[in-house]
């Protein structure tokens, strides 16, 4: 069904077009860069072919069992000694023998020794391999020195506390003195370096000021090789936080008596009433992908499920080219029976976001710091604040929009400015606007009892951008039919929907949340593609 969101989009087309052009310029620049990078990679590959790379230990080496490429892991033996995650090692491990599996983040041979930086997820640690009389030979050092970056290795060694901290590693207080190294999986020449993909704007600027040009990796090149791009520490952290938001969301709702449901994504007909649907051929019948679980979660309420939530994909075939629209995204939806008032829904919404904001701050502080290293952001402030649409209009009228229409929707630009004004006045990045004009909401929205021009609806914002749209829904089949007619919707197209309220329907309301938007806005990121694992936009369907 058409949402308030849809309509908002229509009204901000010119802004979108601007964004689109910006994106296109960026894309062109990136394509150029990518071509350069590919050329470099090819040259590097040619250089690599010239040198025979060492993959096996030297004949007769007394420690030949301790280095060289391992046979392919094929389940021919079980693990006989435990592996240690490099992220767990701290100074208390000093003197302990460890076996670690991690990637070669960096490697530098230097005479009789070799410095390796191993990386696993957001952690890096230094490994030293230096020739000695018993455990490390020249052969081992040579082998290690030639390992390609991003290869996966098993390293054996002893944890040591260096005299001065190792600034270049996240594990700065410890290092490993290695005496064994085996490649588990070798990496080919990379389309871009993970270190280059991990630079912050500040680093690039600081280097530029010193006359140094850091390699940057554009959005298209990243997304074309998303499984590499995702290896950067910031991306590792972003998706740990995304998983965290899901768990906090679910746990908080379960505690408030909700139950998880799964509704079908292939639905009959060519549309739910809106136009931006993806069409599917269903065994020869015309079908489409659900733009929201709206009808189904409402049917669950009509089936007495009381309080339901769903975490599932939502599909919008919109040709939107903005920093905050995707063609497929994760919807966190809930719907609940109410006794009297939609404030019962808003109570749940506020509990939910209080839990999410506080839970993230408590459980994911480390990951947030990792994100901030590459993408600095101000911590988001949570307060409970509900303003009516009329109050929001008044704030805007008093601050640069004197002629704003109190029965029209807000543009994206107005919403952003409102966010800034609310932050100044109330010191919160989170707030709810309710009692929107009836005319800007979907036909199934319950009108206000005291003013038929307004509706029992609400939007929820973080940093001036909408993350939630919702309302009390009409539970009376008669009123629903009346409103559909008033909105010019052909009744046959919504008859089944209307009929489901004929057999005793509880008053109810709910919300739809965009997961990627919540994560983007909470972390103050500039593009929703950063918080989607494999983003889908009008031009991108790969990988």
Footprint (CB under 8 A) of a second copy, residues 437-496: 446-450, 456, 472, 475-476, 479, 496
Do residues 356 and 249 make contact, with C-beta atoms less than 8 angstroms apart? yes
> What tokens does 288 get?
């489409």
CB of 240 to a second copy, least distance (A): 6
Using CB under 8 A, which of 57, 218, 507, 514 touches a second copy?
507
Q: Which is nearer to a second copy, 46 or 132 (CB)?
A: 46
Site residues for a second copy, 51-110, by CB under 8 A, read 72-79, 83, 101, 103
* Residue 362 makes contact with a second copy by CB under 8 A: no
Site residues for a second copy, 331-350, by CB under 8 A, read 338-344
Q: Which is nearer to a second copy, 23 or 429 (CB)?
A: 23
Region class of 436: left (phi > 0), else alpha (psi between -120 and 50), else beta: beta
Q: Where are the alpha helices (DSSP H) in 189-259?
A: 194-197, 201-209, 219-224, 226-229, 233-255
How many C-beta neighbours within 10 Å does residue 358 have? 12
Using CB under 8 A, which of 303, 369, 407, 491 touches a second copy?
303
CB of 357 to a second copy, least distance (A): 19
Task: Examine the residue annotation and report whether 101 is marked as an active-site residue of this protein.
Answer: no
Rg, C-alpha atoms of the chain: 28
Q: Which is nearer to a second copy, 167 or 283 (CB)?
A: 283
Q: At what angle do helices 477-486 and 491-499 cross, to 10 degrees?
A: 160
Task: Examine the residue annotation and report whether 416 is marked as an active-site residue of this protein.
Answer: no
Task: Examine the residue annotation and report whether 517 is marked as an active-site residue of this protein.
Answer: yes
Region class of 60: left (phi > 0), else alpha (psi between -120 and 50), else beta: left
Strand partners, 119: 103, 124
Do residues 357 and 522 make contact, with C-beta atoms less than 8 angstroms apart? yes
Q: Which stretch binds a second copy (CB under 8 A): 24-32, 183-191, 384-392, 416-424?
A: 183-191
Strand partners, 329: 314
Site residues for a second copy, 315-334, by CB under 8 A, read 315, 317, 319, 327-328, 330
Residue of 199, 222, 316, 473 marked catalytic? 316
Task: Examine the residue annotation and report whether 318 is marked as an active-site residue of this protein.
Answer: yes
Site residues for a second copy, 184-213, by CB under 8 A, read 184-188, 190
Strand partners, 510: 335, 471
Q: DSSP labels for 274-285?
A: SS---EEEETTE
Q: Which is nearer to a second copy, 488 or 504 (CB)?
A: 504
Site residues for a second copy, 511-530, by CB under 8 A, read 515
Task: Examine the residue annotation and report whether 324 is marked as an active-site residue of this protein.
Answer: yes
Site string for a second copy, 253-292 (x = CB under 8 A): -x----xxxxxxxxxx---------xxxxxx-x-x-x---
DSSP 338: -
Q: Which is nearer to a second copy, 72 or 213 (CB)?
A: 72
Could you tell me which residues come within 8 angstroms of residue 342 by beta carbon, excluding any fewer than 6 positions away? 434, 446, 456, 458, 471, 472, 509
Residue of 23, 30, 318, 335 marked catalytic? 318
First to last CA, the chain: 29
CB of 181 to a second copy, least distance (A): 14
DSSP 261: -
Where in the sequence numbering do the catalytic residues fall? 316, 318, 324-325, 466, 469, 517
């Amino acid at each position: 069904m058409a949402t308030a969101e849809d309509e908002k989009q229509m009204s901000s087309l010119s802004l979108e077009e601007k964004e689109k052009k910006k994106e296109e310029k960026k894309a062109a620049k990136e394509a150029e860069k990518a071509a350069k990078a590919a050329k470099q990679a090819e040259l590097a590959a040619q250089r690599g072919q010239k040198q025979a790379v060492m993959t096996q230990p030297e004949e007769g080496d007394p420690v030949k069992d301790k280095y060289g490429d391992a046979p392919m892991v094929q389940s021919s033996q079980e693990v006989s000694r435990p592996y240690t995650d490099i992220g767990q090692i701290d100074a208390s491990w000093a003197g302990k023998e460890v076996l670690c599996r991690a990637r070669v983040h960096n490697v530098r041979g230097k005479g009789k020794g070799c410095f390796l930086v191993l990386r696993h997820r957001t952690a890096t640690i230094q490994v030293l391999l230096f020739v000695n009389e018993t455990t490390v030979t020249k052969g081992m050092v040579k082998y290690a020195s030639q390992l390609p970056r991003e290869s996966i290795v098993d390293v054996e060694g002893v944890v040591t506390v260096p005299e001065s901290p190792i600034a270049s590693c996240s594990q700065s207080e410890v290092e490993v003195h290695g005496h064994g190294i085996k490649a588990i999986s070798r990496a080919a020449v990379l389309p871009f370096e993970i270190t280059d993909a991990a630079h912050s704007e500040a680093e690039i600027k600081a280097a530029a000021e010193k006359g140094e040009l850091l390699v940057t990796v554009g959005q298209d090149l990243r997304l074309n090789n998303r499984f590499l791009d995702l290896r950067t520490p910031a991306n590792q952290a972003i998706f740990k936080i995304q998983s965290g938001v899901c768990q906090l969301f679910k746990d908080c709702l379960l505690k408030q008596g909700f139950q998880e449901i799964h509704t079908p994504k292939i639905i009959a007909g060519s549309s739910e009433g809106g136009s931006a649907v993806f069409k599917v051929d269903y065994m020869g019948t015309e079908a489409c992908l659900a733009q929201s679980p709206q009808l189904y979660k409402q049917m669950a309420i009509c089936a007495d499920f009381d309080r339901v939530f769903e975490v599932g994909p939502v599909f919008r075939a919109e040709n939107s080219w903005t920093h905050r629209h995707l063609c497929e995204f994760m919807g966190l939806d809930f719907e609940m029976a109410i006794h009297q008032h939609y404030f019962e829904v808003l109570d749940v919404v506020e509990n939910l976001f209080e839990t999410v904001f506080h839970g993230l701050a408590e459980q994911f502080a480390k990951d947030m710091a990792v994100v901030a290293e590459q993408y600095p952001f101000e911590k988001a402030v949570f307060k409970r604040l509900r303003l009516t649409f009329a109050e929001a209009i008044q704030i805007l009228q008093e601050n640069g929009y004197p002629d704003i229409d109190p029965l029209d929707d807000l543009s994206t630009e107005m919403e952003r400015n409102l966010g800034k004004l609310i932050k100044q006045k109330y010191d919160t990045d989170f707030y709810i606007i309710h009692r929107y004009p009836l005319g800007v909401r979907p036909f199934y929205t319950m009108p206000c009892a005291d003013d038929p021009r307004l509706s029992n609806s609400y939007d929820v914002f973080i940093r001036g951008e909408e993350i939630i749209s919702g309302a009390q829904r009409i539970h009376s089949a008669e009123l629903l039919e009346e409103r559909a007619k008033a909105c010019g919707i052909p009744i046959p197209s919504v008859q089944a929907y209307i009929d489901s309220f004929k057999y005793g329907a509880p008053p109810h309301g709910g919300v739809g949340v965009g997961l990627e938007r919540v994560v983007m806005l909470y972390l103050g990121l500039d593009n929703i593609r950063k918080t989607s694992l494999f983003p889908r936009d009008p031009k991108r369907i790969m990988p």
